[in-house]
Structure 1
Amino acid sequence: MLSLALFCAVWEVGARASGNFAFPSFSQTLFAFLEMIGDGSLFWAYGRTLEPLVIGVTFSLLVGIGTGVAMGLRRDVEWLTLPVFIVMQAAPMAALIPLVTFVYGIGLASKVVAVVMLSLPVIAMNSYKAVRNTSPSLTAMCHSFQGSRWQQISKVILPEASPMIFAGVRLGVAEGFSGVVLAELLITPTGIGDLITYHRSIANFDSMYAVIVSIVVFAVVTVTLLQLLETALFRPDKRRSK
């Protein structure tokens, strides 16, 4: 809280000292934020933005975790699909988002694809590494007790890999936020992207900054809640230390 208060104070002083009308102060941004909450425009924008985000992240979770676990368990699946995810993770996907419009148009589908392009590789690669780095001694112990392959997967490998898989989910959701905002700025201005584009076009910079800050706050709160859920489910050592 102290570091946050210091950041806001530096923002306020720096904006007032600069005298640049395109750099509003923290108090002006906060007032614009409260004004947009009061007139409901911010809630309406988030309602439009969350639709492709939820669909894209849900698809990425199902496909990413499933494919990542399959790559970690089977060498043939790894050989077939791992290069695709490596390329997706290394390539500048933000630069490829405008190309999506040539295939899917400017509707909901293109925004969902943009979210999937950024979040899917992170989730899949984390799931793959989590399964592949499972302790061999644990699987050997299961085998020595005559455990079947399914028992190894369900009772040893997946529980051992769950914390790292969930960490990948958290990172994938964060990337999904980047994907949906980029899609709304580059493909078609709707939702949060529409607010940013509109207030920038009329030089209403305090409202534009307010929208951008709200995105950061919303993403941070969501990722923090996921981290707390991860701690509650998979980190009993951290719960005891508290």
Structure 2
Amino acid sequence: YHKWIQSFKRQSDVHVLEMLVKHRMPSDVPSQLDKQIPLCDEPMKAMNECRISSLRAKVIHVETPTLMYIHLKSRDQSYRELRQGLRFYDGDDHQNRDYMLPKELALKGYLCAVRNPLDWDNWHRARIIHVLDNSVTLFAIDFGNFITETIGELRLLRAEFFSYPIQAIKVSLSGIAPFAMKWSDGAIDFMKKFVRKYKSEYNLGCVFIDQLPDDYYS
């Protein structure tokens, strides 16, 4: 059975794997063939409409000066509702067991809920990036950081959590570049310290001027 399951995992055959474990999944957990989380469309709308007025934002996570994640003030209420809803997974042990992610569904690209150590261990939506035995690397789509956790700590996403657009918007400062094609640790530390004052309040003005390529991560 294990080898059979692994063959479907290698093919990323979500349909077959979900069918195999459907009897173990709560009724409010949808198939991820039918449900996907929408993107935040405000930056694209702003660029298409050639808006020069800034959108209020706050920085939530920094990798480098040319790779950061922000939240928009216009999405604040949506984010608060999402965070409140995800507290569902703080319920009793019996409830938590019902929503534990089956090992069969621990495959690249699958969406689930996990505690985020960079956000006081609150529950976040995340996409599985890599699986090695019982260890899983995930990307927190509403915060912008990577998380490593065991399969037993992941939870199935209820249908309601697919209606909220992705909250973390990936951005890059325009008109700057690192020396020697790579940012120094000092430059990264400076940037992280500089944006700390923009993490708690929406006091940063953003003007979106171009779209980053889909594979942008450097």
**Range class of TM-score, shorter chain:** under 0.3
Q: State the structure with more CA Rg.
A: 1
More helix by share: 1
More strand by share: 2
| Structure 2 length-normalised TM | 0.25
| Structure 1 length-normalised TM | 0.23
